[in-house]
Amino acid sequence: MPVYSISHVENVRVCVVMVGLPARGKSLIAQKIVRYLSWLSINSKCFNVGNYRRQLAGTEDINAAFFDSNNAEGLKYRREAIDNAVTDMMKWFSDENGVVGILDATNSTRERRDRILKLCRENLIEPMFLESFCDDDELILQNILDVKTTSPDYVDKDNEFATQDFLQRIKFYEEIYETMDQATDSDLTFIKLVNVNSQIILNRIESYLESRIVYYVMNLHIKPRCIWLSRHGESEYNLTGQIGGDSNLSDRGMRYAKKLPDLVLKSLGEENKHTNLTVWTSTLKRTQQTASFLPYKKKLQWKALDELDAGECDGMTYEEIENKFPEDFKARDDDKYEYRYKGGESYRDIVIRLEPIIMELERQENILIITHQAVLRCLYAYFMNVPQEESPWMSIPLHTLIKLEPRAYSTLVSRIKADIPAVSTYKEKGTSQLGEASGPNISKSRDLIKDSDVV
């Protein structure tokens, strides 16, 4: 099986050690890094010390006093939690070929950081500290609101209690907290984010893998925003079952294009109806025609959003492919993610060319992307953390607007269907016929998705 991974080029393993007080967005950053690297097929995993602590000590009697550095009982549990997390991480590096492990803990004192440093060096793993430093009260408060409403520690607890308790917990950490600084920590590899990314301090970033993580983190922002995704309207090729090409929209596809502005308004809701979106399309006619009735001024074409290149099969129907290249047809069904059309592309190739798009998407605010089935599957897989074996088989129907709302610990999805019929372009495994079987296994795509009303 072909393997692409920058870690194989370098043979480097990295342990990212999160540093920072509670409510500084550490877990969020840690999870995003794991999602991004996994999407690029780099084996990565987050070890959250809070979860280990909850396993040991439960959540019943957890309140701020537990985090007082004079509380011997609390200290014992917290030490044990860290030890378990670190042990599991080291085991994962060696037994499961881990490449980037993230230790999501507070790591507030230098002495504690030294221990992990030593352990990493003994195991030939590069330690990289990632500190989220924040002294902007408004940002912290926003984060506390997020944490409090999502943290397992405060399930079933009163809101006011949770806020006060959490503030007290932060105080206990503040008493012992030592920030990373360029003088004392000059020989360590670290990134220090000050107030999200109003200032970023980098020290001794050495490997390519580390610099990739740095570049990604530098592009993150936390302003609320949404991303809308749509396939192009039904095309003339879809009517004939041909793949690829650069055909016009069909009549029904045109109807979808005309209805799209209304769908977007409905999705924005009354209070946001004046929001201006930026529209991204591919360079192919069918996506541009689909975008042509949208009232927004900013429209951008990306070659990277073009449909998967079917190479020699471009312009053929699945049936023709099955007859002409039966072995290829089967090989693609067996491993759709890796299969590369003769003279064309695989899903993995698309992910690689989409990387700059993901980076730019992280930087941007409200965006509407009109693109193609395979490309949409890959973008969707990034936001929803869909594994590679599943993503090429996800059903993303025509004439449907998808809205993604990234939140602290998950992404909310809603779909709005335009009530305009279209041929199904979904091909199940092992057949050249198009269309989704009805029945229990209708699609393997995880239905985190709530269909909203048909407009």
Ligand X SMILES: *[C@@H]1O[C@H](CO)[C@@H](O)[C@H](O)[C@H]1NC(C)=O
Beta bridge partners of 261: none
Which residue's CB is nearer to ligand X, number 115 or number 204? 115
Q: Which of residues 145-204 bind ligand X (CB under 6 A)?
A: none
Q: Which of residues 269-298 bind ligand X (CB under 6 A)?
A: 274-276, 286, 297
Helix H or strand E encompassing 253: helix 251-268
The closest alpha carbon to 48, from 33, 38, 37, belongs to 33
Number of residues that bind ligand X (CB under 6 A): 28
Judged on CB neighbours under 10 Å (0-12, 13-18, 19+), 126 is middle
> Is 50 an interacting residue with respect to ligand X (CB under 6 A)?
no
* Least spacing, CB of residue 428 vs ligand X, in Å: 12
Instruction: For residue 372, indicate whether it is catalytic.
Output: no
DSSP 8-state symbol, 248: P
Instruction: For residue 307, indicate whether it is catalytic.
Output: yes
Which residue's CB is nearer to ligand X, number 143 or number 250? 250
* Least spacing, CB of residue 22 vs ligand X, in Å: 10
Distances, alpha carbon 292 to alpha carbons 199, 258, 261, 296, 303, in Å: 40, 8, 10, 10, 18
Which residue's CB is nearer to ligand X, number 40 or number 345? 345
Write down the catalytic residue from 131, 146, 210, 232.
Answer: 232
Which residue's CB is nearer to ligand X, number 90 or number 416? 90
Which residue's CB is nearer to ligand X, number 41 or number 391? 391
- Phi-psi label, residue 373: left if phi above 0, alpha if psi -120 to 50, beta otherwise: alpha
Q: What binding mask, one character per residue, do residues 219-238 give for ligand X by CB under 6 A, x or -?
A: ----------------x-xx
385 token code pair: 């953390």
Using CB under 6 A, pick the residue from 44, 132, 346, 373 that binds ligand X.
Answer: 373
Q: Which of residues 61-90 bind ligand X (CB under 6 A)?
A: 82, 86
Using CB under 6 A, pick the residue from 248, 283, 323, 431 that binds ligand X.
Answer: 248
Beta bridge partners of 75: none
What DSSP assignment string belongs to 93-113?
HHHS--SEEEEES---SHHHH
Contact 345, 314 (CB under 8 A): no
Report the C-alpha gap between 440 and 47 in whole angstroms: 35
* Least spacing, CB of residue 9 vs ligand X, in Å: 29
Instruction: For residue 104, indicate whether it is catalytic.
Output: yes
SS3 call for 382: helix
Report the C-alpha gap between 90 and 101 in whole angstroms: 9
Which residue's CB is nearer to ligand X, number 297 or number 450? 297
Only one of the segments 2-10, 34-42, 245-253, 402-410 lies at the binding site for ligand X (rule: CB under 6 A); that segment is 245-253
Which residue's CB is nearer to ligand X, number 40 or number 105? 105
Q: What binding mask, one character per residue, do residues 423-442 give for ligand X by CB under 6 A, x or -?
A: --x-----------------
Using CB under 6 A, pick the residue from 49, 180, 196, 277 that binds ligand X.
Answer: 49
Q: Tell me the one-letter amino acid at 159.
A: N
Using CB under 6 A, pick the residue from 243, 257, 260, 351 that binds ligand X.
Answer: 243
SS3 call for 415: strand
381 token code pair: 């897989």
Q: Which of residues 96-115 bind ligand X (CB under 6 A)?
A: 103, 105-108, 112, 115
* Least spacing, CB of residue 115 vs ligand X, in Å: 4
Report the C-alpha gap between 92 and 295 in whole angstroms: 51
The closest alpha carbon to 310, from 246, 244, 354, belongs to 244
The closest alpha carbon to 51, from 28, 76, 73, 82, belongs to 82
Q: Which of residues 387-416 bind ligand X (CB under 6 A)?
A: none
Positions marked catalytic: 104, 232, 307
Interface residues with ligand X (CB under 6 A) are: 49, 82, 86, 103, 105-108, 112, 115-116, 235, 237-238, 243-245, 247-248, 274-276, 286, 297, 307, 372-373, 425
